Amino acid sequence: MVKVFALSLNFNSLWYSLMKKIESIKEFGGWLNRYEHQSESCHCMMTFSVYLPPQAETENVPAVYWLSGLTCTDDNVRTKAGAQRYAAELGLALIMPDTSPRGDDVADDTERYDLGKGAGFYVNATQSPWSDHYHMYDYITQELPELVESEFPVVKGIRSITGHSMGGHGALICALKNSGMYRSVSAFAPICNPMHCGWGQGCFSNYLGSDTDSWKLYDATELVKAGAKPIPMLIDHGTGDEFLAEQLFPQHLQKACDEASFPISIRMQEDYDHSYHFIATFIGEHLQFHSAHLKE
């Protein structure tokens, strides 16, 4: 038993040593770093960014994971959201993964922005050709936290998660499917009931196949209906969001939560759209919400 444990440690050390820092930028007194590593879950090189606030030089800090939306990489949020200012003020690390596997070997649909690369939907695909690499759910909930908590000055086992649009939904399902893994969850303009909208149906039918029972395991509204345990949850939608009526369906999630006595705060922000200008406006409140729960 001791021997197996030692082997496992060696394996991990080897694995993590393959992680390579590819960029380092000073910001708000801390460091915005970017890494690439060979992902065990996705069987390809993956890129992610980490913002370490100034406090991380002298202590371990709690981490907030950010899941981005369709077409994004790890770069969008770190460039456009203005989150690092608040992370520096609050003493939070930001973990910003990519939205899908990448590389020449990875299946894609180059005709569509909402399927394939940039559109992993944070599920484990079961259908060919997607199942070779599209295991974003395992990547986000298992591999990445293990890597981050092994390699960076973050508090182990204490995490929160948030995201935007497809990534807002990703944050919701990661939290709803893993009671106790996150202290809090929030989302900006999340797809709330993907089984019910084009974006979700397009991805789920390709990644998971035609059996819609398998879709329910990755649908936030269905997970609440199925009895997911409550977790502090904050959601913002903009009333001027061009995707609100056809893709997002917050009213479905609200109804499921009401029927399950699941506490939830969905705020409808007047006139705001789906862009990073909307996110920038409210990211401070979201990070304060997470900080309060992370430091309880």
Q: Kindly list the residues in this chain that would bind its own copies in the complex (CB under 8 A).
A: 25-29, 32, 79-80, 82, 84-85, 238, 240, 270-273, 275-278, 280-281, 284
Q: Which is nearer to its own copies, 43 or 85 (CB)?
A: 85
Q: Which residue in 274, 286, 290, 293 is the catalytic one?
A: 274
- Min dist CB 286 to its own copies, Å, is 14
Q: Which residue in 39, 41, 160, 165 is the catalytic one?
A: 165
Q: Which is nearer to its own copies, 204 or 276 (CB)?
A: 276
Q: What is the DSSP string of the chain?
A: -HHHHHHHHHHHHHHHHT-EEEEEEEETTEEEEEEEEEETTTTEEEEEEEEE-GGGGTS-EEEEEEE--TT--THHHHHHS-HHHHHHHHT-EEEEE-SS--STTS---TT-SSSBTTB-TT-B--STTGGGT-BHHHIIIIIHHHHHHHHSSEEEEEEEEEEBTHHHHHHHHHHHTSTTT-S-EEEES--S-GGGSHHHHHHHHHHH-S-HHHHHTT-HHHHHHTTPPP--EEEEEETT-TTIIIII-HHHHHHHHHHTT---EEEEETT--SSHHHHHHHHHHHHHHHHHHHT-
- Min dist CB 273 to its own copies, Å, is 6
- Min dist CB 26 to its own copies, Å, is 4
Q: Which is nearer to its own copies, 126 or 275 (CB)?
A: 275
- Min dist CB 251 to its own copies, Å, is 22
241 is catalytic: yes
39 is catalytic: no
Q: Which is nearer to its own copies, 34 or 252 (CB)?
A: 34
274 is catalytic: yes
Contact 283, 229 (CB under 8 A): no
Q: Which residue in 164, 241, 290, 293 is the catalytic one?
A: 241
- Min dist CB 182 to its own copies, Å, is 27
Q: Which is nearer to its own copies, 83 or 257 (CB)?
A: 83
Q: Which residue numbers are catalytic?
A: 165, 241, 274
